[in-house]
Amino acid sequence: MTLLLTRSDLEAVLEPEACIKALREGFRSADSGPIAGQRVVTDLPFPGTATALIPGLLPGVPAYTMKVNAKFPGARPALRGVICLHSGVDGELLALLDSATVTAWRTGLAAALGTDLLAGPGALVGVIGAGAQAELVVRGLAALRPRAGLVVHDTSADRAAEFAGRHGGRVLSCVAEVAAAADLVLSATWSRKPLLRLADTREGQHFTSLGADEPDKAELAVDLLEAATVVVDDRELAVSMGALAHGGTADATLGEVVRGEHPGRVSADGRTVYAPVGLPWQDLALSWVAYRAAEEEGVGRRVDLLA
């Protein structure tokens, strides 16, 4: 029997603190895994792309994940897909999980963890792109550090106003205003050209860029990346399809920061950037948390796909 977990099921069993704990442990241990995960993105003869992340593996977890997403920027929601959670013992399909929900949670909460580890003491949060991933970053940050305030900009004024209303923030009219006001800036957009350049920023700021996860997407300009301490989740992917595809270098991975092998922020007045692409083991980390919680709480619906 396979457990089906919809968005509402997942939101009923997931909570930020437990997910951040699982992600932190994953960053600490994932590099020691025997098999590297693969992230495959391909264009389609339609207005979108197909993405597959395989296999999601973590030391100590007796299961693995396979994820397939459709990413169509003009659709709402823009990302749809499924995560298959398989037993590592016999390959049994333990669960099918809504990928959009798991992806938003693991991306947003991993970004919250990276932001907390790299950002300075300033507590005014700026959001560029008020979507599902930004929502989870803000929720995750609330569990990790105090916040002095929040400013937000989105191409949709209504979406920005709703986001600001949920989080007690205020709407600003442009990206530059967000960068001028905030101590740490989160961007989670579909941008194909840089939103922020070095001249738009100031010393001591932190930037988390979630939008640059395909070769032709970019949120931070090369001059900003070159001036900052840049931390990524995977060096090779950051160059081939992430924020460093057009220039800049990675100073560390978040795993190295979590393990204490790199300090992350090297000076109070330095700029820092966290620019992840997203890795298969992160899907497993949250899928395993969700599956075990759903089993314990009796959430979800069981089906026999072989019937």
pLDDT at 216: 86
Domain layout of the chain by residue ranges: 2-103+280-303, 110-274
Q: What is the mean pLDDT of residues 48-54?
A: 96
Q: How many helices (H) and strands (E) does the chain have?
A: 10, 15
Q: Select from 1.20.120.550, 2.30.30.280, 3.40.50.720, 3.40.50.1820 the CATH code of 110-274.
A: 3.40.50.720
Give 36's pLDDT tier (boundaries 50, 70, 90).
confident
Contact 280, 57 (CB under 8 A): yes
Would you state the pLDDT for residue 47? Answer: 95
Average pLDDT over residues 273-296: 98
pLDDT exceeds cutoff 90 at 304: yes
Q: What is the pTM of this model?
A: 0.95
Q: Which residues pair with 39 in a beta bridge?
A: 53
CA atoms within 13 A on the CB side of 191: 22
CATH 3.40.50.300 fits 2-103+280-303, yes or no: no
Task: Kindly report the length of the chain.
Answer: 307
pLDDT in tens, 68-83: 999 999 998 899 999 9
